[in-house]
Amino acid sequence: MNTLFFTDRQRRIAFSYAFLTPLLVIYILLMIYPLVRGAIWSLQDLSLAAMAGGQDISFVGLENYRDLLADTTFWRKIVPNTVFFVAGSVVLQIALGIGLALLLNQDFIVGKRLIRSLVLLPWVTANVVVAYSWVFIYDSRLGLANQVLLGLGLDPVSWLADRTIVMPAIILANVWRGTAFAMLIHTSGLQSISEDLFEAAAIDGASPWQMIRRITIPLLRPFTLLNLLYATMATLNVFDLIFVMTGGGPLNNSSVASLYMYDISFTQGRFGYGAAISMFLLLVNIVMTYFFVRWSGEDV
């Protein structure tokens, strides 16, 4: 019926927009609007205290951002913690993931599928469950970690209450959880490398170690970069693992940026300042993604 009045092209456009509408409604209402709203808040002195006091919410320009620049807790504690947490987790996950992928990719291994499934188990487990498993392991009296230390003839440690040990302890839990992901990515990378290359190298008398260094590692590079991007972004925004394990304590010693933002906003009710932190973190996310994509020179 419509065929007489509308061209094919017009009908295709109408169909396309009809099919896009639900997505657009969800995105605009629950992603773009909150984003814009957050950006506006970051320029206002919005807080529970001000609201309770009946004050008018006013624009304060970049004051929240100036506060952020001058926030010593943020720069001396939160940022170093976040960098340590992200770098420690990502480097260990990728290094161990490459190692596991290389080991598992050898032809002689028996029961590959089963081993791979078992390696993947920690990663399938919910973060809350991961967190409590490790809190239990780190329990100073009933935990496994201190039993291991005692078995080795060492003194027990209060893992999650000691300000220097708490972060490495959380990183260990995160490495336990996240290494399987790095292994998966690099396994698919290894499977993309042609056997011919190794055969040719073997004919030329290359040692296994030379083959890994000259063929495997360079050809895995795009996969490693992709892994680096995914893992860095995911780790940068980790919330539940640390929130459940320590709540950021003791005394902010395991608090990272996302936790700090949550604490400022929800616990302290400083929404304007919290929004400024959010915007800053969003900018960090975008800038890092941009550089990763440019650096890896491909469409991630």
Partner 1 sequence: MPKTTSTSWKVITYVLLGLWLLFAIVPLFWMVGASIKSPLETNTYPPTFIPRSFSLQNFGEVLRDRGFGGGEEFVPTIEIGDETVLEGPALLPGIRPFWNSLKLGVVTTSVSLVISTMAGYVLATYRFPLSGFMRGFVLLAQQIPIVLLIVPLFLVLSVLRLAFTFWGVALALIVLVTPFNTWLMLGYFKVMPRELIDSAEIDGASQFTTFWRIMLPLAAPGLATAAIFSFTRAWNEFLLVLALSRGQENLPYTVGLYNFFGEYGSGSWHLIAAAALMASLPVLLIFTVFQKYFIAGLTGGAVKS
Residues 220-259 that bind partner 1 (CB under 8 A): 226-227, 230, 233, 236-237, 239-240, 243-244, 258
Among 92, 100, 171, 242, binds partner 1 (CB under 8 A): 100
Among 119, 161, 165, 219, binds partner 1 (CB under 8 A): 119
Query: Do 74 and 68 contact (CB within 8 A), yes or no?
Result: yes
Work out the end-to-end distance of the chain between its first and last CA atoms, rounded to an integer number of angstroms: 44
Among 63, 79, 123, 165, binds partner 1 (CB under 8 A): 123
| Nearest-angstrom CA–CA distance, 29 and 197 | 52
Among 60, 149, 198, 250, binds partner 1 (CB under 8 A): 198
- Does 81 sit near partner 1 (CB under 8 A)? no
Binding mask 35-74 vs partner 1 (x if CB under 8 A, - otherwise)? x-xx--x---------------------------------
Please name the amino acid found at residue 257: A
| Nearest-angstrom CA–CA distance, 169 and 145 | 10
- Does 88 sit near partner 1 (CB under 8 A)? no
Please name the amino acid found at residue 190: L
Please name the amino acid found at residue 183: M
CB 69 to partner 1: min, Å = 19
Query: Which residue's entry shows tokens 């609007």?
Result: 33
Among 133, 156, 158, 161, binds partner 1 (CB under 8 A): 133
Among 57, 249, 289, 296, binds partner 1 (CB under 8 A): 289
Using CB under 8 A, count the residues that bind partner 1: 92
Among 55, 188, 194, 268, binds partner 1 (CB under 8 A): 188
| Nearest-angstrom CA–CA distance, 23 and 285 | 23
| Nearest-angstrom CA–CA distance, 224 and 35 | 31
CB 265 to partner 1: min, Å = 5
| Nearest-angstrom CA–CA distance, 243 and 246 | 6
3-state secondary structure of 38: helix
- Does 101 sit near partner 1 (CB under 8 A)? no
φ and ψ of 180, to 5 deg? -60, -35
- Does 267 sit near partner 1 (CB under 8 A)? no
Structure tokens at 210: 């030379």
CB 45 to partner 1: min, Å = 15
Q: What CA–CA distances, in Å, run from 265 to 59, 139, 153, 269, 277?
A: 18, 30, 45, 5, 10
For partner 1, give the closer residue by CB, 84 or 230.
230
The residue range among 50-58, 71-79, 80-88, 111-119 that interacts with partner 1, by the rule CB under 8 A, is: 111-119
CB 171 to partner 1: min, Å = 14
φ and ψ of 216, to 5 deg? -65, -55
Binding to partner 1 (CB under 8 A): which residues in 138-177? Answer: 139, 141-144, 147, 176
DSSP 163: T
